[in-house]
Amino acid sequence: MNRDNGFMADLMDATSRFFYAVLRVDLMKESVKILQSRDLLQNEYPEMPWEVYLDRYTGIVIEKDFEFLKDSLSCGTLKRRIGSQAVRFFIDVPYIKNGKNEWLTISVILENDEEGIPYAYVFVQHANEEYVQRKMELEEARRQIKIDPLTGLFNFMELRRQAEEALLKAEENLALLFIDLDNFKGVNDRFGHMEGDRFLQKIAETMKGLLEGRGVCGRVGGDEFLILLRDVKNREYVEDVAKQICDEIYALPIKHNEEMHVSCSIGITMIPEDGRDYQTLVRVADYRTYQAKDAGKNRYWIE
């Protein structure tokens, strides 16, 4: 897969006006030579360790994507890829510039030179406004696929995906809480479905606030919700969360009506005590909500 210098020179000349930087990375020495750059790095650092340049240049990349970028473009990863069919690839990287969402497109061509030494040409390009708009629309569409449109919570399928992923990774200390509202039909019957929808949105906000940093919540449908609770310390910890949910939902006002309350019944399954199969865990948690209702509602059931 060798290319002569003329090819790369022609390529760089033809595309120079589009790229912010063109780099040649020596994958053995793990150093970078800047062939073209619109910033001062070209003059200050004609050669430097690859990780140093990556860190300096991509400091604008938001942190959660920066770690992914460093892993994807590390010399070790690129050396492994050079022996595969994937000798050309690109990565889109979101970052924030002057408070605005922007995108970088990083294209990579992997090669062995005439002496068999592996290297990579890296082309860094700022996306134009049209491209950024398309990417943002695509990201929003992907997000909407995962979201329940009424409450803004995850939908049932996305929560199932996250739970199954956690179970597949053999994560311990998990719990599933199946939540079924009590007497919610009365809200719709008395005040109408629009008020019922507003109340469901209040419940969603309440549960997101309670769960911040502790787990994720999704809407199963209608007046049913499901919570995946992570980093469960013990049984008492789960019961405390369930009690908070019961208390907070019962305290929510319904159109300034102090006499009417909606409560909830919660069925709880613990992982691994109640199993590791998602469908079984949800079915058992759902059954336990009925046990909570039979016991008087506005409570949780755990065994």
Residues forming the active site: 223
CA angle 277, 221, 303 (to 5 degrees): 45
Helix, strand or coil for residue 5?
helix
Closest of 179, 182, 176, 177 to residue 297, by C-alpha:
182
**What H or E segment, with its residue span, contains residue 230?**
none
294-300 contacts at long range (C-beta below 8 A, 24 or more positions apart): 297/182, 297/183, 297/263, 297/265, 298/182, 298/246, 298/250, 298/263, 298/264, 298/265, 299/246, 299/265, 299/266, 300/177, 300/239, 300/242, 300/243, 300/246, 300/265, 300/266, 300/267, 300/268
**Number of neighbours of residue 185 by Cβ within 10 angstroms:** 13
Hey, how many other C-beta atoms are within 10 angstroms of the C-beta on 226?
Answer: 22
